[in-house]
Each structure stands twice: as structure tokens, then as C-alpha cells.
């Protein structure tokens, strides 16, 4: 099961979500990005196995940038984390068609439960790249950028 | 004057219907076989087709999608001599106008014709239909045309829609397409993924909750139903909706009102519901796993998406479309593909449907790197193996030296001889196909076939094959 996470650098080091993304859920392989260009570079690498995309949004500007990536984000199941008390972002957030949308105050256990369910479905899906067969080294093109905690 | 095509192998029915059509002031054309009927429909437009099910050259229902896709999309009235509820269901699902059982009185046959012609007349009076935004829905096969027609009807109305289809057939894409073509297009399209949400979370996510309503609810939260106000609520994998919640959701569908968890006041939400599933909800209802009243409420429109293997003719267009899109997404130069690439894709069964196709194309692009043309060699190994195995399994004419049920007993060879000959034929075909796929590359051929170089050359000599075979 693969996880690609975008998490802004300003999210506190001891925030439960950061801890979960970096150190929790041992069954997931993960790539964590703190910059949007880094995330975009990763999403433009072809042939990587299907991954769950966890996007932690700090403000309207970040959300707009993610929506502008459009097709790149929608190639994966998206889990969206919005700042607290930002109901006004909901309309724009749904443009990413998230499979689960929550806020920064979400309990880690809830997030973990959702990701585990999404992950097991991705694995058993005959249409998903990761569900069929591992990509052999010759099929795989090097180039995925792993910024943190991989 | 309307043009009416009658396809039936019963001369009496042909005469009877032709006379009836002429008396009504329309022009009948008759055909005794399905093949001839399809050919006629390809050549000239018809308004209505009477189609028999049991025809000498095939089942009329199999020709229904093509008939519907021809010309101005004639209305098709199915006729059968036998009671067949499954056939009737199939006919209606494929867009038949009506289904009548023979023998039927002239009046019984005239009535559906009159109604079909009235309907077409009314449709022609209406303003030209607006162009359907197809988004990423690619193809023009008859099976897909039926779906697009239902999608257009659903988009023009505000009724609930139930989309059925295997994994990867594009259920969300069609749901999005309905939303984008509807009057609600400017509002939110809210996805509720019933498989992703743990049972304990679904209720508060759907209905929202008020502060203090349960441990951890330290602030109020709007539910997804409320967020869909003015727009569309897409309930993906609705078959997974917990039984306990189905009753509450049914009430929301009936009244468009709900109470957030822990709340005292009701909230209203004006949303349009689209639900999707890859499960047989009817069967789930029969087994008591899904509420019948909710099932009926969901399917004001019912859209059954075909599997990719059922619309193989769309494959070249799908490959072109997605290759272009993927090259744009990954900032690659546009790539073409060799005939053997498409042949291999066409020989594969696609259990994961279009989603799997897109993944396969993505992996092929990755394997090809800077090469301008994609060959079968660039396809994922699992797919090439599957296609090769399938081609070996498929019996070809001449595989067996004799036909056991036809040859005289005294001329039948022993089983061992038949087995050896069949094995030799399969071996030769495998090596010929493999060499074609590897473009005569001995190293690759040895690697895939797991033969030593010496053994490979010996077999090539035995079967009279060369590297360029």
C-alpha cells in the first residue's frame, strides 16, 4: 500500500497527523512532501503504483493550487485535511472529489481507519497497478522524489 | 410518413405487420434475417423497428444495440413467441421501446407503434438537444451509446440515478458527467465513499453533528448531505451503506430533511442523488442485506455500464485518448503505438476495465521512456503472459489431426499420437508468436520462454522457423 502525503512545513512537529504520516501505519510505504512543487514532481512520474493521496491544506491559497493541479490529483484516491473552522473551503474542496474530507482536529485513529480501508481496496482492485503485479525494475523509471521519512 | 423496418422470419407476421403499417400511412420494409435487417438499418434511417427474438441467423436481442445506434436511433419493439422475462429485461435495459408477445392482435401491435411514433414526433418538435459534455467518456460503441442516452436523460431531470458496473467501468465518471450536464453543474459534487468510511463514522459524516454530541465532538460539523445543498450527492458503493443507516437515509431521500447527530432541529438540503455500486443490489434485497424501499427509491434512472470486454470496438479510441492525456500529464512527447501493441491489448480480457487499461498505458509509457512508438514489448509482463497463454489455450482449426466424432473408427490414431501432434502444433505457434513479439531477439525469447539458447535453436530448426518468422 502506497501513500503520498503533502503536509506543509508549518504543521507542528508533534501534531498527531504529522506523527501518523511519518511514523504510523507500518504497512504503508510513504512519500511525504512539504512543498507543492515537490508533490507535483512526484505526481508527474508515470508508471508508479496507484497511491492514496493525503493532502493537508493550510489555507485557501494551498487549496487553490491543489485544485489547479486537477487531473494530477484526481488520478489517485484523495483524502483531504482542511484547517479547523473553514467551512467556506468546502465548496472548493469538493472539486478534488475527496474520498474522505476531515479537519486537522480529526482523531488519528479515524484517519488510520479510513486509510486502511482505502488501502485494502486499492490492493484488491484488479484495475489498480499495485493490485495486479509489482512493477519490475525494467518497467519502472527512476525519478520519484522522496523528501521525508520514506 | 414514417419508415418502419420489420425483422421476422415468419412470413405471416411480415405480411400482417406490413399491411398494418401501410394502412396507418407509413412505409414498411421487411427482412427475414437479423443480418439483412442490420444491413438495411445501416443503409437507411428507420423510425421504428419491429424485431423478432428468434431469427434463423441469431438472437434479435443481440442486434438491438446496433439497431439503436443506427441513423436517428429508431425505437425498437421486440416481438417474441415465448414468454421470456429475462429477455424482456435485457431488451428494456438495452433501450427497447416495448416488448410484445406473439401471437398478438393487430391492435396490440398497433398501439406500441402509435406511441413510439408520437414520442418521436414530440421529440422532433422540441428544441435541438444541447451538446452532451462527455468529459473523459470515450467511445461510440452501441453499448456505450445506450449509456450516453440514459446519461443525457438523467442530466435533464432531477431524479435519483443508480449506476451499476464492474470495478473500473467508470461509474464515478458517469456520475460526474450527469452532474456536469445538469442544472446543478455550478454547485458541489460531493462524494461519499461508503467503502472507505468506517461504520462508526458514516452517520456523523453524512448528517453532521453538533458540539458535544459524542466523545471527541468538540465542535459542530456540517455533514456531507448539507454540503451537497444545491448540487449532487454521489454515494459510491452504496451497497456498503450500513443497514442501520439505510432507514435514516431513505427518510432523507423522501423529505430532503435530516437531523444532525445530537441536534434538535432539522435541516433541509436540496440535493440530487446519484448512487453507484458493483454489487447486485437486487440480490442483496432478496437476501435481506439491502432495504427494498431504498433500492426502489434509488433507481429512478438505472444505468448499467458495460465492461470493457463488451465494447472492444472502443479500445483503439480509448488507447489514443488516454495516451494523449497521459503524455500531457507527464509532460512527455506524444507517442504512437505499433499494431502489435493494440493487438495484445485487444486480446486481453480486462478484468479491471478502463481503469486497468489506463494503468497499463501508464506503465507502458514508463517502460518506453524516450522511445516514440509503443510496442507490445512495453506492456506489463503480466499482461503479455496472460495474452500468450490465452492464445495457446484457444483451439485453432487443424490443431488435431482428426476429428474424433467424424473419422471412421479404423482410422483413429492413438491418444499418444494425437497428444504429440497437438503439443507440436502449440509449440510451433508459441515460438512463432513469441519471435514476432520480440522482433527476433533471441535473448528476450530465451528469457520469456525459459529455454536455453541451444534448445531454442533446436526447436526452431525442428519447426522450420527462423528468427524473422
Are the Cβ atoms of A117 and B381 closer than 8 angstroms?
A: no
Query: What would the mean pLDDT of B415-436 be, rounded to a whole number?
Result: 84
Position A136 scores a pLDDT of 42
Question: In the predicted model, is pLDDT for residue B336 greater than 70?
Answer: yes
Are the Cβ atoms of A99 and B193 closer than 8 angstroms?
A: yes
Position A130 scores a pLDDT of 41
Are the Cβ atoms of B380 and A132 closer than 8 angstroms?
A: yes
Scan residues 175-204 of B and list those with Cβ closer than 8 Å to A: 176, 188-191, 193, 195-198, 201
Q: Residue by residue, what is the 3-state secondary structure of B331-347?
A: CCCCCEECHHHHHHHHH
Please give the residue that has the higher pLDDT: either B88 or A62. Answer: A62
Position B213 scores a pLDDT of 75
Query: What would the mean pLDDT of B319-345 be, rounded to a whole number?
Result: 92
Question: In the predicted model, is pLDDT for residue A137 greater than 80?
Answer: no
The residue among B327, B363, B447 with the most chain A CBs within 10 A of its CB, best to mutate, is B363
A119 CB neighbours in chain B (<8 A) are none
Kindly state the DSSP code that residue B95 receives in the 8-state scheme: T
Mean of the per-residue pLDDT values for chain A? 80
ipTM of the complex: 0.85
- Quote the minimal CA–CA distance from A122 to chain B in Å: 11
Task: Spell out a b/e string for B309-326, using b for 16 or more CB atoms within 10 Å of the CB, else e.
Answer: ebbeebbeebbebbbeeb
B363 CB neighbours in chain A (<8 A) are 46-47, 129, 135, 139
Position B411 scores a pLDDT of 63
pLDDT tens digits along B270-299: 999 999 999 999 999 999 999 999 999 999
Is any Cβ of chain A less than 8 angstroms from the Cβ of B365? yes
pTM beyond 0.90: the answer is: no
Please give the residue that has the higher pLDDT: either B411 or B396. Answer: B411
Question: In the predicted model, is pLDDT for residue B248 greater than 50?
Answer: yes
- Quote the minimal CA–CA distance from A145 to chain B in Å: 15
Mean of the per-residue pLDDT values for chain B? 86
Are the Cβ atoms of B352 and A131 closer than 8 angstroms?
A: yes
Q: Domains, chain A, ranges and CATH?
A: 2-148 (3.40.50.2300)
Are the Cβ atoms of A47 and B362 closer than 8 angstroms?
A: yes
Dihedral sign, Cα of residue B345, residue B350, residue B355, residue B360: negative
Position B179 scores a pLDDT of 96
Is any Cβ of chain A less than 8 angstroms from the Cβ of B218? yes
Could you tell me what percentage of chain B is helix, strand and coil, using 3-state DSSP and rounding each to the nearest 5?
A: 50, 15, 35
pLDDT tens digits along B376-406: 999 999 999 888 888 776 555 444 544 555 5
Are the Cβ atoms of A132 and B329 closer than 8 angstroms?
A: no
Are the Cβ atoms of B188 and A91 closer than 8 angstroms?
A: yes
Give the one of B191, B325, B352 whose C-beta lies nearest to A98's C-beta: B191
Is any Cβ of chain A less than 8 angstroms from the Cβ of B324? no
Q: Residue by residue, what is the 3-state secondary structure of B363-418?
A: HHHHHHCCCCEECHHHCCHHHHHHHHHHHHHCCCCCCCCCCCCCCCHHHCCCHHHH
Is any Cβ of chain A less than 8 angstroms from the Cβ of B444? no
Q: How many CA atoms within 13 Å lie on the side-chain side of B118?
A: 6
Position A60 scores a pLDDT of 92
Distance set, CA B177 to CA A95, A123, B238, B454 (Å)? 14, 27, 19, 57
Which of A102-116, B208-222, B333-347, B387-401 is least confident?
B387-401
Which residue bears the cell 459524516? B205
Give the one of B190, B222, B363 whose C-beta lies nearest to A139's C-beta: B363
For residues B102 and B350, give the distance between their C-alpha atoms in angstroms, rounded to a whole number: 39
Query: What would the mean pLDDT of B324-353 be, rounded to a whole number?
Result: 91
Q: How confident is the model at residue B53 (pLDDT cuts 50, 70, 90)?
A: confident
Q: How confident is the model at residue B351 (pLDDT cuts 50, 70, 90)?
A: very high
Q: How confident is the model at residue A141 (pLDDT cuts 50, 70, 90)?
A: very low
Kindly state the DSSP code that residue B54 receives in the 8-state scheme: E
Question: In the predicted model, is pLDDT for residue B225 greater than 90?
Answer: yes
- Quote the minimal CA–CA distance from B154 to chain A in Å: 21
Position B447 scores a pLDDT of 87
Distance set, CA A102 to CA A98, A99, B125, B173, B238 (Å)? 10, 10, 49, 24, 21
Give the one of A44, A46, A113 whose C-beta lies nearest to B198's C-beta: A113
Position B239 scores a pLDDT of 94
Q: How confident is the model at residue B459 (pLDDT cuts 50, 70, 90)?
A: confident
Q: Which helix (H) or strand (E) holds B192?
A: strand B189-193
Give the one of A46, A99, A136 whose C-beta lies nearest to B365's C-beta: A46
Strands B3-7 and B27-31: parallel
| CB-based contact A22:A56 (threshold 8 Å) | no
Position A143 scores a pLDDT of 30
Are the Cβ atoms of B196 and A77 closer than 8 angstroms?
A: yes
Is any Cβ of chain A less than 8 angstroms from the Cβ of B448? no
Which residue bears the cell 525442428? B462
Are the Cβ atoms of B219 and A84 closer than 8 angstroms?
A: yes
Are the Cβ atoms of B196 and A128 closer than 8 angstroms?
A: no
For residues B156 and B130, give the distance between their C-alpha atoms in angstroms, rounded to a whole number: 10
**Which of B112, B120, B121, B117 lies closest to B91, judged by CA?**
B112
Give the one of A75, A94, A114 whose C-beta lies nearest to B197's C-beta: A114
- Quote the minimal CA–CA distance from A128 to chain B in Å: 6
Q: How confident is the model at residue B126 (pLDDT cuts 50, 70, 90)?
A: low
Please give the residue that has the higher pLDDT: either B422 or B128. Answer: B422
Helix axes B381-393 and B339-347, enclosed angle (nearest 10): 70
Contacts A–B by Cβ distance under 8 A: 116
A121 CB neighbours in chain B (<8 A) are 195-196
Question: In the predicted model, is pLDDT for residue A79 greater than 60?
Answer: yes
Which of A109-113, B113-117, B124-128 is least confident?
B124-128
pLDDT tens digits along B14-40: 888 889 988 888 889 999 988 888 888
Nearest residue of A to residue B360, measured between CA atoms: A129
Is any Cβ of chain A less than 8 angstroms from the Cβ of B469? no
Position A106 scores a pLDDT of 80
Kindly state the DSSP code that residue B314 receives in the 8-state scheme: G
Position A77 scores a pLDDT of 93
Amino acid at each position: 500500500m502506497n501513500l503520498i502525503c503533502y503536509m506543509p512545513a508549518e504543521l507542528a512537529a508533534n501534531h498527531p497527523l504529522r506523527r501518523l504520516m511519518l511514523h504510523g501505519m507500518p504497512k504503508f510505504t510513504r512519500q511525504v512532501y512539504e512543498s507543492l512543487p515537490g508533490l507535483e514532481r512526484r505526481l508527474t512520474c508515470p508508471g508508479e503504483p496507484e497511491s492514496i493521496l493525503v493532502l493537508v491544506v493550510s489555507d485557501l491559497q494551498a487549496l487553490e493550487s491543489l485544485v489547479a493541479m486537477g487531473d494530477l490529483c484526481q488520478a489517485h484516491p484523495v483524502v483531504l485535511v482542511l484547517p479547523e473552522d473553514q467551512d467556506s473551503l468546502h465548496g472548493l474542496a469538493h472539486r478534488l472529489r475527496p474520498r474522505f474530507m476531515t479537519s486537522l482536529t480529526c482523531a488519528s485513529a479515524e484517519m488510520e481507519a479510513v486509510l486502511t480501508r482505502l488501502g485494502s481496496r486499492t490492493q484488491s482492485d484488479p484495475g489498480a497497478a499495485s493490485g495486479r503485479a509489482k512493477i519490475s525494475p525494467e518497467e519502472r523509471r527512476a525519478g520519484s522524489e522522496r523528501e521525508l521519512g520514506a | 410518413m414514417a419508415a418502419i423496418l420489420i425483422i421476422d422470419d415468419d412470413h405471416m407476421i411480415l405480411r400482417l405487420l406490413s399491411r398494418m403499417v401501410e394502412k396507418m400511412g407509413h412505409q414498411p420494409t421487411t427482412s427475414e434475417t437479423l443480418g439483412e435487417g442490420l444491413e438495411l438499418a445501416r443503409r437507411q434511417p428507420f423510425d421504428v423497428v419491429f424485431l423478432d427474438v428468434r431469427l434463423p441467423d441469431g438472437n434479435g436481442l443481440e442486434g438491438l444495440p446496433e439497431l439503436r445506434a443506427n441513423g436517428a436511433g429508431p425505437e425498437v419493439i421486440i416481438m417474441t413467441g415465448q414468454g421470456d422475462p429475462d429477455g424482456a429485461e435485457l431488451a428494456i435495459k438495452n433501450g427497447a421501446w416495448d416488448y410484445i408477445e406473439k401471437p398478438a392482435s393487430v391492435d396490440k401491435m398497433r398501439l406500441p407503434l402509435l406511441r413510439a411514433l408520437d414520442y418521436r414526433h414530440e421529440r422532433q418538435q422540441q428544441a435541438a438537444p444541447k451538446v452532451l459534455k462527455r468529459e473523459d467518456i470515450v467511445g461510440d460503441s452501441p453499448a456505450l451509446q445506450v449509456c450516453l442516452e440514459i446519461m443525457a436523460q438523467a442530466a435533464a431531470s432531477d431524479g435519483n440515478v443508480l449506476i451499476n458496473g464492474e470495478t473500473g467501468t467508470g461509474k464515478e465518471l458517469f456520475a460526474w458527467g450527469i452532474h456536469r450536464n445538469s442544472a446543478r453543474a455550478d454547485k458541489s459534487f460531493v462524494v461519499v465513499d461508503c467503502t472507505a468510511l468506517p461504520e462508526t463514522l458514516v452517520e456523523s459524516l453524512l448528517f453532521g453533528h453538533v458540539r458535544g454530541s459524542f466523545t471527541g465532538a468538540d465542535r459542530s460539523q456540517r455533514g456531507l448531505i448539507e454540503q451537497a445543498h444545491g448540487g449532487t450527492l454521489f454515494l459510491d458503493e452504496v451497497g456498503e451503506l450500513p443497514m442501520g443507516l439505510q432507514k435514516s437515509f431513505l427518510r432523507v431521500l423522501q423529505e430532503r430533511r435530516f437531523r444532525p447527530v445530537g441536534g434538535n432541529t432539522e435541516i433541509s438540503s436540496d440535493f440530487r442523488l446519484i448512487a453507484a455500486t458493483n454489487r447486485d443490489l437486487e440480490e442483496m434485497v432478496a437476501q435481506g442485506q439491502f432495504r427494498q424501499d431504498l433500492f426502489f427509491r434509488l433507481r429512478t434512472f438505472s444505468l448499467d455500464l458495460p465492461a470493457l470486454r463488451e465494447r472492444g470496438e472502443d479500445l483503439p479510441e480509448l488507447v489514443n485518448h488516454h495516451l494523449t492525456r497521459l503524455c500531457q500529464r507527464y509532460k512527455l512527447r506524444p507517442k504512437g503505438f505499433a499494431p502489435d501493441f493494440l493487438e495484445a491489448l485487444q486480446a486481453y480480457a480486462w478484468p479491471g476495465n478502463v481503469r486497468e487499461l489506463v494503468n497499463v498505458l501508464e506503465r507502458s509509457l514508463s517502460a518506453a521512456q524516450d522511445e516514440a512508438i509503443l510496442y507490445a514489448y512495453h506492456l506489463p509482463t503480466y499482461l503479455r503472459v496472460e495474452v500468450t497463454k490465452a492464445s495457446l489455450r484457444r483451439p485453432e482449426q487443424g490443431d488435431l489431426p482428426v476429428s474424433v466424432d467424424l473419422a471412421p473408427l479404423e482410422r483413429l490414431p492413438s491418444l499418444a499420437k494425437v497428444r504429440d501432434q497437438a503439443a507440436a502444433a502449440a509449440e510451433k505457434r508459441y515460438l512463432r508468436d513469441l519471435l514476432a513479439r520480440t522482433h527476433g531477439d533471441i535473448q528476450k525469447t530465451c528469457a520469456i520462454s525459459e529455454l536455453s539458447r541451444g534448445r531454442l535453436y533446436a526447436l526452431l530448426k525442428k519447426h522450420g522457423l527462423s528468427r524473422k518468422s
